[in-house]
Each structure stands twice: as C-alpha cells, then as structure tokens.
Amino acid sequence: VHEELRQKERLAIIGQMATAIGHEIRNPIASLKGFIQLQKEQYPNTNDYYSIMIQEVDRIDSIIDDLLYIGKPRVIQFNKGNIKEIIDYTISLVKQQDEENRIVFKTKIEDTIPEIDCVEKRLKQVLINLIKNAIEAMPQGGKITISAGILDRTKVWLSIEDEGVGIKEEYMSNISVPFFTTKKDGTGLGLMVTEQIIKAHNGEIRFESTQGKGTKVMITLPLLQNGTI
C-alpha cells in the first residue's frame, strides 16, 4: 500500500511536468509539421525525406498524447462511439506509417455491435498504442488480427493479436509500469496510459503471450457507463 502511494505521488508529479512540457512542445511541433507539408507540396518529386519528417513529427505528437494523459484529471464525458469505425480509423492511420507494407491487417468484427459509451479519442489512443506495439514486435513484418464482438449482451470485447517476438514470462507483470521498456527508443508509457484509459472506461485488459510466437491483448468494455440497460 505504501509503495502504491509513492507510485501515485510520483505519477502526479510526472503528470504535472508532462502537462506543462507537453503543451509547450505541441505548438512548435504543429507549425513544424505545417511547414514540412508545405515544402513537400512545393517539391513533390525530390525524395522521401519530407514523408519521413512528417512521420517522425507524428511520432513525437503521439508521445505527447501519452504524456498529456498522465496529467489529466479523470473527469470524463462519455459519448456514443462506434467500435468498428474506431478500429478502421486506427488501422488506416497506422497503415500510412507502414510505407513498405510489411504488415497485413486482418479484421473480424461482428456487425451487430451497438454504439458504446466511450471517449472516442481515448479509445483510438489505446488502439494506436497496442497496434504500434504489435508492429514493433514484428520487425520483419507479419499479420495483425483485430477482432471485436459482443459479450453477455452488456459488453463489447476486442482483441489485437500479433505474430511477434512475444513477452518474456518474467516481464509480464512489468509491462504496464511507467517507463518500463525493452526497446532501444521506447518510452515505456504506452501500456500505462492504455491501462488507465481502459480503467477509466470501467473495462478490463489482459495480455497473453508466448515467446517467439506472438501476443494477444484482450479488452472488454461495458456498452453503457451507467449500468442501466
């Protein structure tokens, strides 16, 4: 309990710093991206450097998204969101960043899923973080399967499955700890933020992984946030 409290205090301080820094960085990043895009349009046939610059700027932007979430007060306004649209949108977004088309996406989404109470922007952030992890686990490329459906008439389930390197047994309990990363240039923030967002939606998330075979992330979310059905 003591350790948990210390962890909370640490996160609160990190959150305040992250918010301050994140907002300061966001504006120059946006103008940087704008000018790169302009250059790209003016000199369309030079080389791919502009696309790479834009990609990298987008990467900074999504790291800032994670940072800003740590500092967010947890008052949430839920709206109706469509899971299939959220999944399709996210896939099209990450596909743009997979220019060599190394990744094959497969979706199996039941078409009877009603709209759910959620913060769409946050669920997109969850999917982006999870799909990015899946991609990073498959440096040679591979298949990512995203499935979704209805559970017990009150919940929606969704899963993201990759054929990547998998997670070492001894790391399983650490993967969501802030700043835990096994990557050369990882932030170790993605899964922490992901878990917090799922929790804020009163949902659940769990990981199954076999080293050398791949990882499956399972999420369940309530359809309604006030329990009435």
Shortest distance, CB of residue 172 to ligand ADP, whole angstroms?
A: 9
Dihedral sign, CA of 205, 66, 171, 11? negative
Answer yes or no: are the C-beta atoms of 89 and 198 closer than 8 Å. no
∠ CA 177-59-215, nearest 5°, is 50
- Residue number with CB closer to Mg ion (22 or 190): 190
If one asks whether residue 133 binds Mg ion (CB under 5 A), the answer comes out as: yes
| Alpha-helical regions (H) of the chain | 2-42, 49-70, 83-96, 120-136, 190-200
Binding to ligand ADP (CB under 6 A) within 150-189 occurs at 162, 164-167, 175, 180-183, 186-189
Site track for ligand ADP across 14-53, x = CB under 6 A: ----------------------------------------
Site track for ligand ADP across 204-223, x = CB under 6 A: -----------x--------
Dihedral sign, CA of 7, 9, 11, 17? negative
Answer yes or no: are the C-beta atoms of 205 and 194 closer than 8 Å. yes
Q: Which residues does residue 81 pair with via DSSP β-bridges, in sequence order?
A: 116
Choose among Mg ion, ligand ADP, none what residue 180 binds, the Cβ cut-off being 5 to 8 Å by kind: ligand ADP
- Which residue sits closest to Mg ion, CB atoms considered? 190
Measured in degrees and rounded to the nearest 5, phi and psi for residue 227 equal 80, -15
Instruction: Using alpha carbons, select from 210, 214, 193, 218 the residue that is nearest to residue 18.
Output: 193
Candidates 30-38, 50-58, 95-103, 133-141 — which segment interacts with ligand ADP by CB under 6 A? 133-141
Site track for Mg ion across 154-193, x = CB under 5 A: ------------------------------------x---
Choose among ligand ADP, Mg ion, none what residue 164 binds, the Cβ cut-off being 5 to 8 Å by kind: ligand ADP
Tally of CB atoms within 10 A around 227: 8
- Residue number with CB closer to ligand ADP (200 or 224): 200
C-alpha to C-alpha distance for 199 and 213, rounded to whole angstroms: 28
Residues near Mg ion (CB under 5 A) are 133, 190
Residues near ligand ADP (CB under 6 A) are 129, 133-134, 137, 162, 164-167, 175, 180-183, 186-192, 215
